[in-house]
Amino acid sequence: MSLYQDWTKLLNGQTESTFRTFWEEYSNAEMSVYAWILSHQNEKLEGTVAELAKKFNIREIMVMGFLDGVKSSLKDPDVLNLEAVTPDTALSIDPDFELLFRNMLGADARHLYSLPEWDQVLSAGKREEIRKDFNRSRIYHAPKKPGRNDPCPCGSGKKYKNCCMKKDQEAQRLSQA
């Protein structure tokens, strides 16, 4: 079984009684790796999975979990084939920091996007700009419903009240009967 399959099995195999311990181990591992990446922003994180596990004093499977999370934030995500990663796989992690911050917001990973090391990477103003842009992107805009006297959206040329509105009301009446 590949390291990625082991990671997926571990992640999906959590129970109510094991989740807290697992999450604590994983989030601590993740925070230590990200803190290093942020405080060494001009360097790539390089080494084999086994070497990185040793460097950060974490299990290899936790390195795999980190890779699974960071892949979408890399400058070139296609260089990382998660399915092919083994303990001997040489890695060179080069994140796009703005995308990384945005993805952390999307994952609601407060423990990561609030790391103090972000101060060295993105200004408070830039982080706030990314946060506002992210929040704007999540706003749902419902499609405008036609008014009774608007032209029917089906293109019949009739008013909505004399066309599809009647059909909708008839269908609703029949479904209630």
What region, left, alpha or beta, does residue 94 occupy, with left being phi > 0 and alpha being psi -120 to 50 degrees? beta
Which pLDDT belongs to residue 137?
87
Alpha-carbon distance 87 to 51, whole Å? 8
Q: What is the C-alpha to C-alpha distance for residues 150 and 148, in angstroms, rounded to an integer?
A: 6
Collapsing DSSP states into helix, strand and coil, what is residue 154? coil
Q: Which of 35-49, 99-113, 154-168 is least confident?
A: 154-168
Per-residue pLDDT of 100-148, as tens digits, reads: 999 999 999 999 999 999 999 999 999 999 999 999 888 887 888 888 8
pLDDT at 39 > cutoff 90 = yes
Higher pLDDT, 166 or 68: 68
Q: What pLDDT does 1 receive?
A: 67
What is the radius of gyration, based on Cα positions, of the chain?
A: 25
Tokens 């590949």 found at: 2
Q: Residue 166's pLDDT is what? A: 81
CA angle 21, 99, 35 (to 5 degrees): 45
Percent of the chain past pLDDT 90, that is, above it, reads 73
For residue range 49-67, list pLDDT tens digits in order.
999 999 999 999 999 999 9
Model confidence at 71, pLDDT cuts 50, 70, 90, reads very high
pTM of the model: 0.77
The terminus-to-terminus CA distance of the chain in angstroms comes to: 56
**Cα dihedral value 62, 67, 69, 72, nearest 10:** 180
Mean pLDDT of the chain: 92
Q: pLDDT higher for 72 or 143? A: 72
29: pLDDT strictly greater than 90: yes
Can you spell out the DSSP letters for 96-131? -HHHHHHHHHHTT-HHHHT-TTHHHHS-HHHHHHHH
Average pLDDT over residues 32-40: 96
Rounded-to-5 percentages of helix, strand, coil across the chain? 60, 5, 30
- Residue 142 has a pLDDT of 81
- Check: CB of residue 66 under 8 Å from CB of residue 2: no
Structure tokens at 171: 């269908």
> Regarding predicted confidence, which is higher, 47 or 141?
47
pLDDT score of 55: 96
